[in-house]
Copies of this chain bind each other. A is one copy, B any other.
Amino acid sequence: MTMEAFGDEFGDEQPWTPPAERQPGWLSEEELAGARGRVPMLYVEAVPVRVDPSGTIATVGLLLRGSPTTGRITRSLVSGRVLHGETVRDALMRHLEKDLGPTAFPVLPVSTVPAVVAEYFPWPTSQRIGQSLTDPRQHAVSLAFVVPVSGECQPRQDALEITWLTPGEAASDTIAAEMEGGRGTLLRQLLHHAGAL
């Protein structure tokens, strides 16, 4: 299995389960590969933040992940696919718990209108779209949110660690260079949305 730029839900899908027990929406890699080449894949992404009582962002959590193939360490957001039959809210909760552990206590926004709509293409995008986000695997459209967490984060699965940075640090060129697919720009967009820069 190659490094998943998006997070990802594949760890969940790997263990074989009898068809009857398989959750609807979870696909074999072949089935998923088929859909991937045909339609845009819907994702959710979130940057976890710690806020003070008035809601101002104090720190920003970034996940450290290691690539099994290149060994390269990258920083990423909470991210994953919306499954067939799953609501956007449920997908967001599932990926937050998968990446931050069960005691993070994320506070989801009351509206599912995202802070940013991020569009990833498997080829370089033209100037016609402001963002230049890429994903070598697929065309993906991601609903991206800023999500306050009030509990303890315990990274799971392929995330090695979560690092807490100030908004200014998180928006730096150094951090942007450590994020894949141009997500440094997305992170700045999200922090600007929250008025944190």
Residues of B near A81 (CB, < 8 A) are 39
A179-194 residues with Cβ-Cβ distance < 8 A to B are 185, 188-189, 192-194
Contact with B along A41-54 (1 / 0, CB 8 A): 11000000101111
Task: Given A39-B42, A84-B38, A115-B113, check contact A89 B54 (CB 8 Å).
Answer: yes
Interface contact B130-A195, CB-CB below 8 Å: yes
Chain A contact residues, majority secondary structure: loop
Q: How many copies does the complex hold?
A: 4
Instruction: Count contacts on A: residues with CB < 8 A to the other chain.
Output: 64
Interface contact A195-B112, CB-CB below 8 Å: yes
Binding site for B on A (CB under 8 A): 25, 27, 31-32, 34-35, 37-42, 49, 51-57, 81-90, 92-93, 107-117, 119, 121, 128-131, 139, 141, 143, 146, 148, 167, 185, 188-189, 192-197
